[in-house]
Structure 1
Amino acid sequence: MKRIGVIGVGEIGRAVVTGLYDGGGERPEVFLSPRGARAAAELSARHERVQVCADNQEVVDRSEVVVVAVRAADRHVALAGLRVDAAKVVVNVMSGVANDDLRRLLATDAALVRAIPLPAIRERRSVTVTYPSHPVTDALFERLGGAQPVADEDAFDVFSALTGTLTTHYAYLAELMAWAADQGIPQSAADRYIRGLFQGVGRALGDETRSLQQLAADHETPKGNNERIRTTWFDPANSRALHQALDGLLADLRRRTARD
C-alpha cells in the first residue's frame, strides 16, 4: 500500500494522515481532495509526500486505496460522476451509509470496506471496526492502532452505536467537576484531579488480561466508596435506561441504512 487518497479532509481524514506520518515506518504517498482546503494545505505543507489534488477524480486516479470521509449528507455532490476502477479499494467511513448504497452511487466493482475510525487513530491508540475484512484495509488500520473486522453490517451497526457513547463519558466527567465546584472546590483543581483520575483508568484498560468486570472489582473495596456509588447511582434502572438508549440508536442506524 504505497498510495492512499482521502476524499473529505475533516477530523477523520486529518487523523488518518497524522497517524500514518507520525508513527514511523514506511510512509505512503497521500493524495488529498481540495475539500477541506485549509486542513489539506496544512497537511501538505507539513509532510513531503502529502499532496493536494485538483479534484476528487485525481485523488481516485492516483491512489490504490481511497478513504471516503465526507459527511453522509454531502456524498451525492462529492462523489457524483467519479470513475473508480475495480482494482481500487474504497474505505467508507461515512456514518450510516451502507456499502450497497455507496456501490450504487459509484457504480463500481471495486472492493468496498466500511470502517469506524476515531480521532485517536492520529496517535495510533484506537481500534477501528471494519466490514468486510480485507487484507489491505486491515493492514492500514493495524498501523493506526488495530483493526477489528466484524461478520456483517448488523454487527457493524452495533459497534457504531457503541461509538455514540463517547461524548457521554466526557459529559459525565464534566458533571463530576461541576459537583466538586458546588462543594467549594476551585474549578481548576477539580479539573486537574478528574483528568488525572480517569487517565489512570484509561491506562488500566490496557491490561487485557483482566475483564472489565474484574477491573471494576479490583478497584472496589467491599462496602467502600466506589461500591456505594456504583450500586446507588448506576443501579438496575440506570442500566436499563442505558440499554434502551442504545437499542433506540441501533434501531435508527439500521432504519437509516435500509432507507438509504
Structure 2
Amino acid sequence: MRRIGIIGVGEIGKAIVEGLLSGGGASPEVFLSPRGARVAGELSERFEDVQVCADNQEVVDRSELVVIAVRRQDHHEALAGLKVDDDKTVVSLMAGVAIDDVRRTLATGAPIVRAIPLPAVRERRSVTVTCPSHPAVDALFEHLGGAMSVADENAFNVFSALTGTLTAHYAYLATLTSWATRHGIAPDVADQYVRCLFQNVGRSLNDESRPLHQLAAVHETPQGNNERIRTTWFDPANAAALGEALDGLLADLK
C-alpha cells in the first residue's frame, strides 16, 4: 500500500507512522486526521511524506488503506457519515468493536480487518494480531515487526484481553521499586536495578525452545528465594483472581 490514512492520531497511530517512516527505504504517503491535532502536526513536521487532512473524509478519499484508531466509545461520532468505497481496505484498532459493527457504521462493502498493534511497532519489534488475514494488512504489520493472523473474532478477543495486562506489569515493577525505597534504597538506584533485573527476563523470553513454565522452573531453585515469592504471593487464589479479571474483560470485549 502506497497511501495509508490514519483516523485518530494517538499513541498507537503515532507509533505506526514512526515505524513506517523511520526505517529508511521506500515510504508510503501517510494522511492523518485532524483528530489529535498536536501529534498530527508534529508528525507532519518530522516526516515529509505525512500530511494532515482537513477532515476524516479527506483521509479516506486520499488513502488506499485506512486505519481507524479512535477510542471505541468515540467511534460512532468519529465515523458517522463517512463514505468508504468498496475498493478501500479498513483496519480497525478499536478494542471491543466487532467487524459487523464497523461495517454497519461505515455502510461499506470494503474489507475490514481488526488489528492489535502495540507501541513497539515504532521500532518494528512488535508482532501484531490481525483478524481475518488480509494480504495488504498482514504485509503492513510484517513490515512493522510481524503479523499473527487468527481466523475468528473470538480468538482475536482473547489476544485483545491479554494486551490488557501490560500496565499491570509496569505497576508490579513500580511496586517493587517502592518496596525497596521503603527499606532505605534510593529511588533512582531501586529503579535502575529493577529495570535491569527485568530487562534480563525479557531477553530470556527469546529462548523459544522452552515453554514459559519451564523458563520459570529453570530460574528458581527448590526452596530458594524465587520459589518462595512465587508460591507465597502468586498463590492459587492470586492466579484465580487474575483469571477472573481477564474473564471479565473478555466478556466486555465480546
- Runs of 4 or more, structure 1, over 3 Å off, are none
For residue 26 of structure 1, report the CA deviation from its aligned partner: 2.3
Deviation track 1:221-250 (CA, whole Å, cap 9, x = no partner) reads 222211111112111121111111111111
For residue 54 of structure 1, report the CA deviation from its aligned partner: 1.4
RMSD in angstroms over aligned alpha carbons? Answer: 1.1
Instruction: Name the SS for the 2:26 alignment partner.
Output: coil
Matched residues in 1 for 2:200 and 2:247: separation? 30
Deviation track 1:109-157 (CA, whole Å, cap 9, x = no partner) reads 0000011111121111221111111111111111111111112111111
Matched residues in 1 for 2:126 and 2:210: separation? 19
Instruction: Name the SS for the 1:59 alignment partner.
Output: helix
* Equivalences for residues 1-260 of structure 1 within 5 A: 1-254=1-254
Matched residues in 2 for 1:58 and 1:171: separation? 40
Deviation track 1:19-64 (CA, whole Å, cap 9, x = no partner) reads 1112233211101111111111111111111111111111111111
Letter matched to residue 185 of structure 2: I
Letter matched to residue 60 of structure 1: V
Matched residues in 1 for 2:141 and 2:253: separation? 23
- Contact kept, 8 Å, 2:97 with 2:253, in 1: the verdict is no
For residue 82 of structure 1, report the CA deviation from its aligned partner: 1.1
| TM-score, normalising length: structure 1 | 0.95
Deviation track 1:200-222 (CA, whole Å, cap 9, x = no partner) reads 11111122222111211221122
Letter matched to residue 29 of structure 1: E
| TM-score, normalising length: structure 2 | 0.97
Percent identity for Structure 1 against Structure 2: 73
Matched residues in 2 for 1:171 and 1:124: separation? 25
Deviation track 1:68-117 (CA, whole Å, cap 9, x = no partner) reads 01111222222111111111110000121111001001110000001111
